[in-house]
Amino acid sequence: MPVRRDFNRSVAEYRAALGLAEAAGGLAPAVAPELPVRQRQLITRLAQAAAVITPGWLGRPLTDSTDDLPLGRSDGTQPLAVRIGVCNVGGDYAFAAVVNLLGTGHLFIDADITDDRVLSVIRSTLVRLLAARGTDSCRPLLVDPTGGDRLAPFTPLVEAGLTSPIGGDEAGLDQALGEAESHVKQAAARPDPSDMPELLLVITRVPRQFEERVNRLAARAVSARLHLVVAGWSGGAVRQATHVSVDEQVRLAGVALPVAVDDVPDEVVSAVCNRLAAEQNWLIGEEP
């Protein structure tokens, strides 16, 4: 498939440049103006490859300027990666931190959504993927066992019937995992599950008693068109997942450079969700 082949080629270019930049070492902001030519070239390669992998909603800053971008333009079988932030080496030398998700893998974060940086990653990732894919081919399933209202801006999706009510406790997590497991079984029973909608399961914290279940689910998920965005994870490495660590700094998949995560204002989240809900209402013949 040409689209997947081009995507894989660009991802390989991004990873190769990232690996070379890491091997070169010394990419500290304090010395950025004095970076050797080779390292400056690698950073330029990274920025260019990231731009190819994350067009439109997947990589643009999430501000009011995105209001005019069309929704749901990516093909339902096309793999999608998202930008979660920027690695800034100093001066004009920076590149997007990119995570492969739909069609290829998962995102696991070791801190939970009570950290504002994690909240930003989860919200920006959701907005980017849903806006790019559209809710007709990608259905979100949201669980926030922290008991807060941090995912409240996504409520218009619930009201439009585009997702189940947001789970707010361990019972809600158990129910969501059961729904995801059922999705995997349905996919396994089909000769070709590519015509099934994708399911995007977002969990903002994973209690220890659920870790093994989440791990088993993730291992079978990608081929079943199920993808996980999980925060508050302490269960170790997960197959086909990109891991993000959060302490004093945010780091992507062991990369030495810190990531300045993308923020997304409440009004942008609400605007995108309301647009998606309005499109759903139009499709079923209701007034938007």
Last residue of a domain, one of 98, 124, 149: 98
Q: What is the pLDDT of residue 142?
A: 98
CATH number of the domain where residue 128 is located: 3.40.50.300
* pTM across the whole model: 0.89
Looking at every residue in the chain, the average pLDDT score rounds to: 87
- The domain containing residue 125 runs over which residues? 106-283
Query: Does the pLDDT of residue 24 top 50, yes or no?
Result: no
Q: Which of 89-98, 115-124, 202-211, 239-248 has the lowest mean pLDDT?
A: 89-98
Task: Give the total number of structural domains in the chain.
Answer: 2
Confidence bin at 284 (pLDDT 50/70/90): very low
The answer to the question of residue 288 being in a domain is no
Q: What is the pLDDT of residue 235?
A: 96
The answer to the question of residue 118 being in a domain is yes
Residue pLDDT, tens place only, 197-236: 999 999 999 999 999 999 999 999 999 999 999 999 999 9
Nearest to 35 by CA among 48, 24, 47: 24
Task: Give the pLDDT mean for 106-129.
Answer: 97
Residue 31 phi, psi dihedral angles, 5° rounding: -110, 10
